Every structure is written in structure tokens, then in C-alpha cells.
Amino acid sequence: MTAPATRGAAIAAFCQGCIHDSAAFGTWREQVATCPSTDCPLWRFRPLQDAKSCPDWIKSHNPADLPNGWARLEQAETVRMMRDWIADKASARAVQADGRAHDTEAIGQPTLAPGAP
């Protein structure tokens, strides 16, 4: 294995090695972006799957911005929440481009299902 050439590449390699499960739901970047280990020293520096479309509550790299109960969710659920947010935002942009009204509340921070941890 070749050593990473940059600090960012080294962090990405560490995070991928730590959390990525090729048998689990989501790409390695999605799994790293939705990492629940907010107490990890590298958590705020973890790479995001697509910083432009990534939810603000992930993009901020601030654990306080994550939905309540985030650390207790299964990895697959966090990846689904992020994907749903991205899809909702893309849908809202498409509607906005058409000139039709859209609900901006639908693209905010997700809420966990009733009874979720």
C-alpha cells in the first residue's frame, strides 16, 4: 500500500479503514460522511461524499447540528437519511426551476421517526 500524499488523503484513508464495510449499505464516502463517532479526533475533518449537495447538518462538521439520537442510529439508517435529504433537495430545486411552488420545510433537518432512540 502506498502512503497517502496529503493530510486530507491520510484522513480519508484512516476514516475509510475505520468505518467502511463493503457489505453494508452505502458507499465508503457515504458511510464516512454519516459517521456517528463524534468523539473521534478526526470526525470534524472526515471527508464528505459531496460537500455541495451534502446536508447542512453534516456539512457543518458540528455534532450539535446532527439530529437527536444520531449516534444511536444504525449506519444504514444514517446513509438513508442523508440520501433522502439530498433527493428532497434535488426535487425542490427541480420544482423551483419549473417556477412552481415548493415546500422549503421539507429540505431542512430530518426528524427521527416517533419512538426512535
User: Greater confidence, 17 or 88?
Assistant: 17
- Structurally, how many domains does the chain consist of? 1
Residues 6+ apart with CB under 8 A from 80: 25
Distance, C-alpha 15 to centroid of its chain: 14
Structural domain includes residue 113: no
pTM value is 0.74
Domain hosting 103: range is 7-107
Residue pLDDT, tens place only, 69-87: 998 999 999 999 999 988 8
Structural domain includes residue 61: yes
Structural domain includes residue 83: yes
Structural domain includes residue 78: yes
Structural domain includes residue 31: yes
Structural domain includes residue 112: no
Structural domain includes residue 115: no
Q: Look at residue 62 in the predicted model and tell me its pLDDT.
A: 94
**Please, how many CA atoms are within 13 Å of residue 43, restricted to the half-sphere of its CB?**
16
Structural domain includes residue 1: no
* Residue at grid coordinates 432512540: 117
Q: Is 59 exposed, middle or buried (0-12, 13-18, 19+ CB in 10 A)?
A: middle
